[in-house]
Structure 1
């Protein structure tokens, strides 16, 4: 279900990975990983870069083995067993060909070029060191609680409240005092509590976030920040938590304006399933324990923080949570990439409802258009916040022109939230029997370079729940007036009505029923 990046064992020894350019002085610690059948002696094998040929030590090994000259540094870069090879060849960052031989016979050959810093060459491509290979995990008849924000922020807190074994939280940002208090209480009960956040969010880490994370550390909560030159992801953008046997996944950040319900439209889901919770716990462990995970106090000592405007608005609660059972799958990027999302889009047969902040990935956009061309009733609802409004309006115009030109059952618009929420932050899809919920924005970086976590739910009932939410957002909310203004307006209307009643009377017996003016008394002229 979950493992660090590996290759399946083969019948002979093979080159599984090459790290020519680690983030170290003078590239010390560079290494080559071999995939080795069980109980294989390396005696008789040689490795050559065309200039230097070295004999491998006569040791018996199994699985993944890293060959290096500097074993101490190499052990910091890989979880494979490290074997020291005296005279190990210097690996060229510009590229070269490595040849593995056994008793003079070539058994494998690998050619690479232009080694990026801190990446491993494997299966013909470069991947960040420490990259994971997280397979999609699924469960049937999973107990599901699906909810929306800002309508039901209490569902987030309820999923975390009372945990006594573990709370593992991962986010892009974290500044929610309410959630922090729940985590501190869990730690006080003896639960294992760990928090993982992004160290370089757009706009920087806020003062509010720093204060909340300080309090968590003071409450014996382990807080780590993904940051620095060894970072495996462009952004750690996932928003999830594991609380005992529950897995919580949302589209919203851990802040009052997100999970607190004071700003954004978001979707969330709680899965009560031990296997799926364990799956996300393994993701959390892999992302927390690599070299790019920095303890909060160490990060804080060298960081500067930004002012942040607090979110304090309140909104109507139009949608209660949906509770039931459904098939549920958890997948992450960049490991899964775009395949699961595309699969949901391509399998739509009746309806396709897309609700996104923006769409910058042509693969998803084309799959949406292809659904409309198959006759699927398609709706695309995009964010209207200032930072995406103009580009989304242009995309809506393009989609409308395409729909008219081709006669497609496709409609698109920019959201008009009015009183329902401040701005749209959903990254969701609904078909006739499937839903996508989570943090994955429809852009290339989110798919290829970010850590994102998504849940695919399959079941008609849960799909209909989110379809109802989508339709409400599509129509827009109702304009809300402050209570004082509403009362004042009502008084004005009543006063105007009284004047009108005094000046106009209706004839109950007249054939035309036309209002008849009552003459004003002389004193009123």
Structure 2
């Protein structure tokens, strides 16, 4: 197992306990870590990829981390509660070989940024720690609890950052035009890249601009972003992105809409782009968020596959999430007061 050594919210005691269980069962857990004072500089800003290879015969690629928020383990018959995401499982030998090559290169012990579990600060949880097994809930009805299973031969493309992830996605979206559809469901898409005080003109987000250009070529484009964790005051946040896209659509008369949503209770954690181009359905799914770091500095991995049934299934998920979404428009109404006028205010 290869994990990020400095996750955004730190390494939790639950995660330490899980690592301990794997090691005690005979597994090996490694961390990609950063220690500038010790002369160790990790190769990526974050090891953010989310994939599993089983016996060299099966590859699981996810938008979700392997935890209860993205993968609640409760009985779905009475609903559940968690973050929206998706996984793709394949036995395609070429795809698996590519993922294995990436993992082998990243987990090369010749690199100083790879350390084994048990090395400081990657130790066990406090003595007496009790793991938490509770997950899920009931507020979300889980209408897509039965996975889609397909058998056949499908064209795949493995895209990974920082090497080629951006070009892989843009190469797909840039093909969309009149009569085509692009559906984007992301944890976030930055309004612009670069520093916080920049702008779309100075530091455009090429992913976002590709969606806009697809709409300008005549495609129907829908962008659905997380509204649960979003900071409305962030000039690059999801609300700002939705306002930016919707303003362009209104000004130019484009078939382009953007909304915020929290369809499953704990936000959208998905990293998914769907496209129907020339009557054929494509799926882009993996770990890649819509930030500059994701495209240029992180280790990320995603799969692009042409499969009409997979597109249709995930487009239905998107449609569900779109319908429960909030529309990030600001509506200003006049204030009406009855029998109101200027006059002297008395005191008693």
Q: 2 CA distance for matches of 1:301 and 1:439? A: 24
1:92-107 alignment runs, 5 A limit: none
Instruction: Structure 1: state its 5+ residue gaps.
Output: 1-194, 478-525
Which one of 16, 26, 48 corresponds to residue 210 of structure 1? 16
Change beyond 3 A, Cα 1:309–1:396: farther
For residue 115 of structure 2, the aligned residue among 288, 294, 300 is 294
Structure ranking higher on relative contact order (CA contacts 8 Å, 6+ apart): 2
Contact kept in structure 1, 2:187 and 2:271, CA below 8 Å = yes
Residue 377 of structure 1 corresponds to: 220
Aligned 8 A contact 1:224 1:296 in 2: yes
Q: Distance in 1 between matches of 2:107 and 2:266?
A: 33
Rounded Cα–Cα distance in structure 2 between residues aligned with 1:270 and 1:251: 12
Superposition map of 1:459-474 within 5 A = 459-474=307-322
Q: State the Cα deviation string for residues 36-81 of structure 1 (Å, max 9, x = none).
A: xxxxxxxxxxxxxxxxxxxxxxxxxxxxxxxxxxxxxxxxxxxxxx
The one-character-per-residue Cα deviations of 1:246-293 (angstroms, maximum 9, x if unpaired) are 110000001111233651100110011223222212211111113211
CA contact under 8 A between 1:206 and 1:308: conserved in structure 2? no
1:234–1:355 distance in 2 versus 1, CA, 3 Å = same
Q: Does the 8 Å contact 1:257/1:311 carry over to 2?
A: no
1:173-199 Cα shifts (integer Å, max 9, x gaps):
xxxxxxxxxxxxxxxxxxxxxx01001
Counterpart in the other structure of 1:446? 294
CA contact (8 A) 2:16 2:124 kept: no
Task: Tell me how far apart the structure 2 counterparts of residues 317 and 384 of structure 1 sit (CA, whole Å).
Answer: 19
> Within 2, Cα distance between the matches of 1:311 and 1:201?
23
Deviations 1:140-171 (A, max 9, x none): xxxxxxxxxxxxxxxxxxxxxxxxxxxxxxxx
What SS does the corresponding residue of 2:84 show, helix, strand or coil? strand
Q: Give, in angstroms, the shift of residue 316 of structure 1.
A: 2.8
Q: Which one has the bigger strand percentage? A: 1
- Between the two proteins, the alignment pairs up a number of residues equal to 281
CA distance in 1, matches of 2:44, 2:71: 23
Identify unmatched segments of 5+ residues in structure 2.
35-39, 74-80, 194-204, 326-348
Measure the CA separation in 2 of the matches of 1:408 and 1:387.
25
CA contact (8 A) 1:198 1:225 kept: yes
Is the CA contact (8 Å cut-off) linking 2:84 and 2:269 kept in structure 1? Answer: yes
Matched, 1:364 2:189: no
TM-score (norm 1): 0.51
Work out whether residues 383 and 389 of structure 1, in 8 Å CA contact, stay in contact via their aligned partners in 2: no
**Distance in 1, Cα, partners of 2:132 & 2:241:** 30
Q: Work out the CA distance in 2 between the residues paired with 1:458 and 1:301.
A: 41
Deviation of residue 309 (structure 1)?
Answer: 8.9
Q: Which residue number in structure 1 is paired with residue 3 of structure 2? A: 197
State the Cα distance separating 1:389 from its structure 2 match: 4.7
1:318 corresponds to 2:161: no
Query: 1:273 aligns to what?
Result: 92
Q: Equivalent residues in 2 for 1:241-260 (5 A)? A: 241-244=52-55, 245-260=57-72
User: For the structure 1 residues 447 and 304, does the alpha-carbon distance in structure 2 shift closer, same or farther, using more than 3 Å as the test?
Assistant: farther
RMSD: 2.3
In 2: Cα distance, 1:308 partner to 1:380 partner: 38
Q: Distance in 1 between the 2:106 and 2:267 partners?
A: 30
Residues 72 and 136, structure 2, Cα contact 8 Å, conserved in 1: no
User: Structure 2 residue aligned with 1:422, among 255, 266, 287?
Assistant: 266
Could you tell me whether the CA contact under 8 Å between 1:383 and 1:424 is conserved in 2? yes
Alignment CA distance shift 1:470-1:318 (3 Å): same
Are 2:41 and 1:230 equivalent residues in the alignment? yes
Assess if the C-alpha contact under 8 Å between 1:357 and 1:388 holds in 2.
no
2:181·2:275 contact (CA, 8 Å) conserved in 1? yes
Structure with greater Cα Rg: 1
- Give the TM-score normalised by structure 2: 0.75
Q: Per-residue displacement from partner, 1:83-113 (whole Å, max 9, x unpaired)?
A: xxxxxxxxxxxxxxxxxxxxxxxxxxxxxxx
Partner Cα distance (1:329, 1:311) in 2 = 37
Higher mean Cα deviation, 318-327 or 204-213?
318-327
1:338 aligns to 2:166 (yes or no): yes
Alignment check: 8 A CA contact 1:436 1:455 kept? yes
- Check the 8 A contact 2:16/2:123 in 1, yes or no: no
